[in-house]
Structure 1
Amino acid sequence: MTSPQPGTAAPDFTLTDQDGRQVSLSSLRGQRVIVYFYPAAMTPGCTTQACDFRDSFPALQAADYTVLGVSRDDPAKLRAFRERDALSFDLLSDPDHAVHEAYGAWGEKMNYGKVVEGVIRSTFVIDADGVIEHALRNVKATGHVARLRTLLKVG
């Protein structure tokens, strides 16, 4: 599966959030959106990444970015993750990984020296018109949000 590239339309989706509400990317037109894909709620790396987004959320929000985290976890687990770590942005459930696939965030990867199929930690920055500005694949959980803020010039 190929990843959408900067300058192309972001694949639209409608997913269920941690509270059971439907969230559509198309409903966020007019806003800049950061969509990040992560393997599993409440695991060490994913918690580090989510907390980095939480800690950067005020600065990202001030720069008019909406943050959405996407994983295969069910809404109840996402709600527990959001509450446990006081996350200030929505987490979306993609249990069949169809949206992951549309963004090239699902496929073969190395895990402890073995090739496995799964989530490829990725982040996409989408402009107010629904066009991908940045596509970052195979990102590391630690330090990624700081690098993203530098890329986006968000202080």
Structure 2
Amino acid sequence: MNTVNKYLNNKTTQVKKSLLSSKVVLLSGGEATGKTSILNLLRDSSSNTRVEKLNVWKTKAFGLTSTRLSINTIIIDGIERDCLLLDDSRLDITKLHALMDYLRFKHIRLVLTTTLNPKEFKELIGHKQVKTFVLEHVEDDSKEDRVNVLMNMIAKIEIELKSLKSELANV
């Protein structure tokens, strides 16, 4: 298992554990930090997925781009938690309060990816049970090794080509 996969699996496990005590789990970070990959790993590990259809009024009130919510049931240490896995690009973040109230009423946890600074986000929603994970870009160590192997192969091929050219020149 390479470095990136280990990092993503470790963070996914931490996110799952935090769902036991937190109503909101925030995955914050810049581009290419694995936020969406962690959401996909959580989706893949869910035991059940159901769709809740919202009316147009609720969709607008919650600032969502879709009238359907996919609720994933995730089992953590034998305890089931219903979770909404959401990317902040799919909602109007200023209307998050309404969505939070709805989810709290339905006993659904929220895992949200965002590029916002965690401090700004907590101020925005003002929720106390927020667990934040600030993700960082991780490079795959094995990529460097592969690049070095390829560079060595190219150097050997260049040497072989030079020797073939000199042999052809002698013929």
TM-score by length of 2: 0.31
Higher-strand-fraction structure:
1
Larger Cα Rg: Structure 1 or Structure 2? 2
With structure 1 as the length reference, what TM-score do the two structures score? 0.33
